[in-house]
């Protein structure tokens, strides 16, 4: 009986001692081999490509990884350098006054065959990131006027079969939405490993209202190479004036809508876009 209990105790001890904390593959490689990653984030201004004046100093870079949360500030070359990181996916946030803030995820894993560890078991990874102005003369302006055929009674017939619409400006506030096309932010953003997996800029998704005379003016972030936006206006309902028994008129409720408009802007540009509603 004693011998039987001894074997049970020995089995439990051996089984228990074999249980270990599971380390993710990438982290395990770093810990076991002593390999690490040096990561450099290069910040450039999309509205100014002149090297002499495109230096982004003291942009706040906050990096989150298995190493913890590390905060650095860009130096005189516009770079922030992080050393002795574990290979894997990191989260990065960027803040710089007067420009778009950024939240992104970056891949530090060895996905590129050309990347390698040096004799010190260090692999260098870099990412280039553009920031866009949200204030100042290097932003762009999208403006225009909103029209709709609110009064059919003042439309004219040029001939029996040809009809000419007279559009009126919309005499009340209409809500608009401006959205940037995000696929523009993934081109040529890294060298070697360091690919941006996903990215979110602040300051690009804008909403507001036209005035009571159909005018709108929107300031948007811009780039020297141009940025693409979609501009959309909300539907509205209106009691449209129509002809009754001449010369009397009637009012008839109509739902008005407009198409989304594609707009390309460049730093310092003014783009005039008039919006025409249908029913």
pLDDT tens digits along 60-109: 999 999 989 999 999 999 999 999 999 999 999 999 999 999 999 999 98
Same domain, 146 and 85: no
Residue 8 lies in a domain: no
Residue 93 lies in a domain: yes
Rounded mean pLDDT, 140-151:
97
Report which of 162, 134, 159, 278 is spatially closest to residue 218, judged by C-alpha positions. Answer: 134
Distance in angstroms (rounded) separating the CA atoms of residues 55 and 138:
16
Residue 112 above 90 pLDDT? no
CB atoms inside a 10 Å sphere around CB 71: 11
Same domain, 167 and 125: no
Looking at 131, 164, 196, which one is the last position of a domain?
131
Contact 179/204 with Cβ under 8 angstroms? yes
Residue 145 lies in a domain: yes
Same domain, 98 and 155: no
Q: Indicate the pLDDT class of residue 157, thresholds 50, 70 and 90.
A: low
Looking at 69, 97, 131, which one is the last position of a domain?
131
Residue 81's domain is classified under what CATH number? 2.60.40.10
Give the three-class secondary structure for 7. helix
| pLDDT computed for residue 24 by the predictor | 45
Residue 192 lies in a domain: no
CB atoms inside a 10 Å sphere around CB 223: 20
Residue 50 above 70 pLDDT? no
Rounded mean pLDDT, 148-167:
75
Rounded mean pLDDT, 143-147:
98
Same domain, 30 and 99: yes
Range of the domain at 210: 140-180+204-276
Contact 39/67 with Cβ under 8 angstroms? no
Same domain, 168 and 88: no
Residue 221 lies in a domain: yes
Report which of 117, 47, 76 is spatially closest to residue 265, judged by C-alpha positions. Answer: 47
Looking at 113, 131, 149, which one is the last position of a domain?
131
Residue 13 lies in a domain: no
User: Mean pLDDT, the chain, as a whole number?
Assistant: 84
Q: Indicate the pLDDT class of residue 12, thresholds 50, 70 and 90.
A: very low
| pLDDT computed for residue 155 by the predictor | 74
Same domain, 263 and 149: yes
Residue 163's domain is classified under what CATH number? 2.60.40
Residue 187 lies in a domain: no
Residue 107 lies in a domain: yes
Same domain, 113 and 52: yes
Total domains in the chain come to: 2
């Amino acid at each position: 009986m004693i011998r039987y209990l001894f074997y049970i105790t020995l089995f439990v001890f051996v089984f228990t001692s074999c249980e270990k904390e599971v380390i993710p593959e990438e982290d395990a490689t770093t810990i076991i081999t002593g390999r690490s990653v040096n990561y450099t984030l290069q910040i450039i201004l999309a509205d100014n490509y002149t090297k002499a004046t495109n230096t982004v100093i003291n942009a706040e870079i906050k990096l989150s990884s298995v190493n913890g949360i590390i905060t650095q500030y860009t130096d005189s070359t516009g770079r922030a350098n992080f050393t002795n990181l574990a290979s894997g996916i990191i989260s990065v946030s960027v803040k710089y006054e007067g420009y778009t803030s950024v939240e992104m995820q970056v891949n530090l894993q060895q996905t590129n065959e050309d990347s390698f560890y040096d004799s010190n078991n260090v692999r260098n990874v870099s990412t280039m990131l553009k920031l866009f102005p949200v204030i100042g003369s290097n932003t762009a302006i999208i403006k225009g006027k909103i029209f709709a055929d609110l009064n059919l009674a003042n439309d004219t017939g040029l001939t029996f079969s040809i009809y000419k619409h007279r559009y009126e400006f919309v005499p009340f506030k209409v809500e608009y939405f401006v959205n940037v096309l995000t696929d523009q932010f993934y081109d040529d953003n890294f060298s070697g490993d360091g690919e941006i997996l996903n990215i979110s800029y602040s300051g690009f998704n804008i909403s507001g209202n036209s005035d009571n005379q159909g005018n709108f003016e929107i300031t948007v972030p811009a780039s020297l190479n141009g940025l693409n936006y979609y501009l959309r206006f909300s539907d509205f309902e209106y009691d449209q004036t129509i002809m009754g028994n001449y010369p009397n008129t009637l009012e008839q409720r109509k739902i008005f809508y407009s198409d989304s408009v594609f707009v390309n802007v460049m730093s310092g540009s003014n783009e005039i876009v008039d919006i025409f509603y249908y029913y």
